[in-house]
Amino acid sequence: MAESAEEVRSRLAALRLERGEPGPVRRRPRWPLALGVLALLALGLAVMRLLGGRPTPVEVAQATVVEPATDEGVPVLTGAGYVVSADRYIAIGVRVAGRIERYMVEEGDRVQAGEALVQLDARDYEATVRHAEANLRQARATAALKAKQLARARALGREGVISRDDLDLRAAEAESAAAAVGQADADLAQARVALEYTTLRAPRRGVILAKLKEVGEIAVPGGFAGSGDLIRMANLDDLRGQVDVTESELGKVHLGQRAEAVPDAYPDRRYRARVVKLYPQVDRQKGTLRVEVQIEVPDDFLWPDMSARITFLEPLAPSGGRVLLPRAAVRGEPAAPFAWTVTDGRIHRTPLTLGKDFGDRLQVTVGLSGGETVVVGDPPPLREGQPVTIAPHP
C-alpha cells in the first residue's frame, strides 16, 4: 500500500540531525595497547635476567702468569726474517795470475782462518824465487869484493900510494854493491810473496758458499768486478737475524733490546739475540724498516740465508707482578681500570693496577694473581653478581 506524502515527510524528519548535536562515537584502534603490553613483557624479562634469571653468555680469556724463566722479557713483536752474516759474503780472489791447479775445499765446508782453499800453478813463481835468490847471492859476493877493495885502497891511501880520487872511486863502488844487495833482497821478498799468493787462504772462520771457477781455468786479478774471485764464503763468527718491521710497530723496537731467533728448520732451537742495528731509511713502498739482531752464541745449526722467526722482548716492570691480562679484558677509565672476573658462574668487578704495555697484553701489578677467568670482547651491560655463561668461541 502506497504511503502518502505526509507520511514520507514525517519519516524524513525523524532521520534529520540537528546542528550542535554530537555525531556518532569513533572507536580508537587497539594496536598501541598491544605494543605497550609487549614492551612491558620485554622489560619484565630483562629485569628478571638482571635479578638472577637466565645467564648472560660472555666471551672469556685467562689471566696468565709469566714463568720465572722468562726473565729475558715478554714478547711484544714477532716477524719473519732471515739469518745473515754481519759481513754479508766474503769474496776471495787471486792477487797474482795463474792457472787453477786444485781446490782444497768444497761447498758447505767450514774452514778456519788461514786454512788453504785454492792452489794455483806455482812453477813460474817458484822459478822467480830461485832467480831472485841467485841474484841476491851474486850481489852479496860483489858487495864483499868491493868492501875488501875499499879496505885495501884506504890502507894504500894512508901510505900515499893511491890518490884521493882512486879512494873515492873504491868507496862509491862498495856503496853501490851494498845497495845492489838490498835491491836483490827486496826482489827475493817480492818473489816469495807472489809465490805465497798462489795459495789462497781463508781470511777468517766461515763456511764455503760457492766455487766460482773450475780447475784449469786461468784466474787473473782485477778486470771486471768479481772476475778474479774464486771462492765465496760467509763469516760465521757474527751471525744476525734480519727482519722488516712496519712503521706502525717501530715504537716497540729499540737498540739494545733483547730478542730471540728461532730458525724455521729447527723450531725447537732458540737463540738469544740483541738489537744492534736499525737501518737509517724506511722502505717507502713497503712501509717497513730493516732491523738486525745479533745472535749471541751461534752454532753449526745456523746457516746464512736461513729463514727464522725473530721475536722482540720487553722486560716486565721490576716492581710489578708477573700477571699478564688481555687488553680486551681491561675496562673503565685509564685512571680507574677494572676487569670482570667470572667465579662460580657469576661476574665480579675487580679493580686493577696496570704496569707495562706489551701490545695485546698488559701487565697487572695489583688486582689479579693469575689464572682468573676474565670477560673479553663487547658483552651486554653487566652488573656485580650477575649470572653468566661462557659463550663458545667463534
Cell of 323: 700477571
- The reply to whether the predicted model has a pTM over 0.85 is no
Task: Kindly report the CATH number that applies to the domain delimited by 59-71+319-390.
Answer: 2.40.420.20
* pLDDT tens string 129-170: 999 999 999 999 999 998 898 888 888 888 878 888 888 888
Task: Kindly report the CATH number that applies to the domain delimited by 74-87+236-314.
Answer: 2.40.30.170
- Count of CB atoms within 10 A of residue 144's CB? 14
CATH 1.10.390.10, applies to 88-121+205-235: no
| Annotated domain spans of the chain | 59-71+319-390, 74-87+236-314, 88-121+205-235, 122-197
CA distance 30 to 283: 70
Q: Which of these, 360, 364, 330, lies nearest to 339 by C-alpha position?
A: 330
CA distance 5 to 1: 13
Task: Kindly report the CATH number that applies to the domain delimited by 122-197.
Answer: 1.10.287.470
* pLDDT tens string 332-363: 888 888 888 888 888 888 888 787 777 777 77
pLDDT value at residue 139: 93
Low-confidence ranges of the chain (pLDDT < 70): 1-9, 11-37, 39, 41-53, 67-72, 223-227, 317-321, 393-394
User: Mutual orientation of helices 123-159 and 164-196 as an angle, nearest 10°?
Assistant: 160
CA distance 353 to 5: 102
The vertex-340 CA angle with 44 and 60, nearest 5°, equals 95
